[in-house]
Structures are given as C-alpha cells and as structure tokens.
Amino acid sequence: MSSLQAATALLEQSLRTRRALLGRTRTGVTRESLARLSQAPNAGLSQISNLKSEMPSSARLLALNEAVRACRKCEHLAAFRTQTVFGIGNPNADLMFVGEAPGFDEDKQGEPFVGRAGELLTKIITAMGLTRDDVYIANVLNCRPDMPKGSTGNRPPEALEMQRCLPYLREQIAIIQPRILVALGKTAMTGLTGADESMSSMRGRWFSFENIPLLPTYHPSYLLRNDSLSEKRKVWEDMLLVMEKLGLPISEKQRGFFRSGS
C-alpha cells in the first residue's frame, strides 16, 4: 500500500470516527474528494492543499503527516531518525509556534517541544492563559539533524535541510491559517524568512510570513542557558505583544511578570 493510499485509508477512518463522535452522517468531506486524493498519480502537497475547502483541517493534517512520515528527501536524516516529528496541537489554532528541529527527546517521543525546553514553552503558554491544546507547535524540520556516531546533543539544521522541509511547514500553516506565528530562535526565523540578523535585533519586531504576522523571540533553550530575570522579561514582553494582537485579556499581574522586584 502506498503512503498516499495509507493516508486515504486513515482519512476515511478518521472521518468515520468523527461522524460517530458527532452523531452526524455528513461532513464537509466527500468520498469523491478522497477518491481524487488517492487516484491522483503524483498526489502530494498540492493535492492536499486543493482539498482545503472540502476537508476538515484535522484530516488534511493527517494526510500531510503521512506524506512526511514517508519522506526521504534528506536521506541522511531519514536514515538517522527514530521517527518523523510532525506538528501538534489545535488544527484551527490562532497562535502557532515554530521551532527549528526535533532534538533527542523529540525524536524519541515523536512530539515537538518535549524535554526541558518543551516544559518551559508549556509554562510560557500557560502564563499567557492558554494550554498546549489551544495552540499549534511545529518545527521547520520534521527530522532530527543527524549527529556523529556516539556523540550526544543536538545540532541546528543546515540551510539546505530547512529548504527541503519548509514546504511541509508552509502547508501546515496554510491548513491551520493561524492569526499569528511566533518563531522560536534565530534558526527558525532564518528557516522561515531567510532573515539573518541577530535575535537581539529581531525580537520585539513584527515580520510577516505568507501575510501572517510573525514575531521572533528567543528559543526556550536560550532561557535555560540564560535564566536571568532580564532575559525572561524580554521573552515575556514578546508574548504580551502576541496576546495584545490576539485580543487576549491581560491582567496587571501578567503585565508585571519578570519585572525586577516582581
């Protein structure tokens, strides 16, 4: 069974489950649209995109994830990975966080932003009055960058690796259509936009990706290495900008987080 046929089977299964859960006999997805997806000889990202108006975001993400799982565009990463690490969260999120690549923990667990940096990102999201289920979290790369045999740690993705994988992220963004994107760290920002400035000069400024406002801020792992109040405050000020743009309520207590003396 090809990956596309597998994706189609999964889609049909998810639709049956959805119908059962909702107690409905009709969804926005038609059998014809699934047939088109499975019969297209070179079906891929564009076919998934073209079904945008007919299929729920969750089904389109499922199909895209299947394409990612089968991807071997970077043979060295495909050989090294335990598994691909696709985005996770609310398929209709207003807010989407984008990091650079899975690390050791993410590669083992198959989920972006787990481990210590992930825990810190969860704390930041919670401080905003949200949960991980409210937002969507993804990386520019879906595979862990390979490391020399026997060495530990992680390495940042290379420009060519990010270039190859960016269409998958672009597609996730097109499906989810978030109101705001947050790039976590300079590498993610470079992968998204090609910007090559320092994070200290980019953070706090709005950029744009596919006409969606994009705010760069420090990666949580930077805060794990530099946990001074002033650095935490910079990231928090960026999150306040995001909250304001999303129209989220901000309490006085939230405005005061990480100010010296608070």
DSSP H helices in 3-56: 3-22, 31-39, 45-50
| Residue 198 CB, nearest approach to ligand SF4 (Å) | 26
| Residue 27 CB, nearest approach to ligand SF4 (Å) | 29
Sorted by sequence, the CB contacts under 8 Å of residue 251 that are 6+ apart come out as none
* Smaller CB separation from ligand SF4, 14 or 83: 83
Residue 261: CB atoms within 10 A of its CB come to 5
| Residue 173 CB, nearest approach to ligand SF4 (Å) | 15
Where do we find the tokens 């335990």?
82
* Smaller CB separation from ligand SF4, 106 or 161: 161
| Residue 74 CB, nearest approach to ligand SF4 (Å) | 3
| Residue 18 CB, nearest approach to ligand SF4 (Å) | 27
Query: Shortest CA distance to 103 belongs to which of 89, 122, 87, 117?
Result: 117
Residue 167: CB atoms within 10 A of its CB come to 15
CB-CB contact of 100 with 219 (8 Å): yes
Sign of the CA dihedral 8, 14, 15, 16? positive
| Distances 193 to 1, 158, 163, 166, 202 between C-alpha atoms, Å | 37, 14, 11, 10, 12
* Smaller CB separation from ligand SF4, 86 or 218: 86
DSSP string, 62-129: HHHHHHHHT--SSHHHHHH-SS----EE-TT-SEEEEES---HHHHHHTSSS-HHHHHHHHHHHHHTT
* Smaller CB separation from ligand SF4, 38 or 139: 139
* Smaller CB separation from ligand SF4, 88 or 120: 88
Catalog residues that contact ligand SF4 under the rule CB under 6 A: 68, 71-74, 77-78, 84, 141-143, 161, 164-165
Radius of gyration of the chain (CA): 19
| Residue 96 CB, nearest approach to ligand SF4 (Å) | 18
| Residue 184 CB, nearest approach to ligand SF4 (Å) | 18
* Smaller CB separation from ligand SF4, 101 or 202: 101
Residue 73: CB atoms within 10 A of its CB come to 13
* Smaller CB separation from ligand SF4, 67 or 215: 67
